[in-house]
Amino acid sequence: MSSRALATRTVAGCTVAAVLGDLTEQPVDAIVNAANSALAHGGGLAGAIVRRGGAVIQEESDRLAPVPVGGAATTGAGALPCRWVIHAVGPRWGEGDEELKLRSAVRSSLVEATRLAARSLALPAISTGIFGYPKRDGTRVIVDELCRWLAEHPETSLRDVRLTAFDAETAGLFATAIASWRDGGSGT
């Protein structure tokens, strides 16, 4: 699947783009996996990452688990085109404090990417798949937290963040959230 940018903006020297494409094929330093606390990568995006990258990703994850909701851990990328996979644990819809936990998962991913000195990152719509977070709200929260964090951390190594979705609906919601985000505001 070829990738296509639907919207872009620059925040503190970093290009933020909404991308319709396959996260596992993004030519970036690191990708973010929407993970569960056990880092058991059986289905959804996590399963696709292990199928494409190889069992070594699951083996490394097994040594790092558990990871709390809102946290992140990094493994190598196996056969994927990136160098690292950052496994971010987002909330399940209905467990309480979902927005705060989703914001924490996004921040944890960005902190990990910066620790790795990654210049480019592909980030999915964490928690909006099998974890049930409503897509419109989830993509808005992810874009808002990403852009706020970049504005507050201009020293980050990140210069290219791709909000990547395989389906047109989610990629379009990322594009809308990017276009409507205002520095210091929630973009709503």
Is residue 133 in some structural domain? yes
* Strand, helix or coil for residue 93: coil
The pLDDT assigned to 187 comes to 39
DSSP secondary structure letter of residue 120:
E
CA distance 4 to 175: 11
Is residue 158 in some structural domain? yes
The pLDDT assigned to 44 comes to 87
Asked whether the beta carbons of 64 and 84 are under 8 A apart, the reply is no
Q: How many CA atoms lie within 13 A of 85 on its CB side?
A: 33
Q: Give the type of residue at 85.
A: V
Is residue 188 in some structural domain? no
Is residue 54 in some structural domain? yes
Q: Give the type of residue at 2.
A: S
The pLDDT assigned to 43 comes to 85
Q: Domain of residue 52: give its range.
A: 4-180
Is residue 167 in some structural domain? yes
Asked whether the beta carbons of 39 and 66 are under 8 A apart, the reply is yes
Is residue 16 in some structural domain? yes
* Strand, helix or coil for residue 55: helix
**CATH assignment of the domain containing 150:** 3.40.220.10
Query: Which segments in the chain show pLDDT lower than 50?
Result: 185-188
Is residue 187 in some structural domain? no
Domain count, the chain: 1
The pLDDT assigned to 188 comes to 36
Q: What are the two backbone dihedrals, phi and then psi, of residue 66, each rounded to the nearest 5 degrees?
A: -85, 160
The pLDDT assigned to 2 comes to 84
CA distance 168 to 76: 29
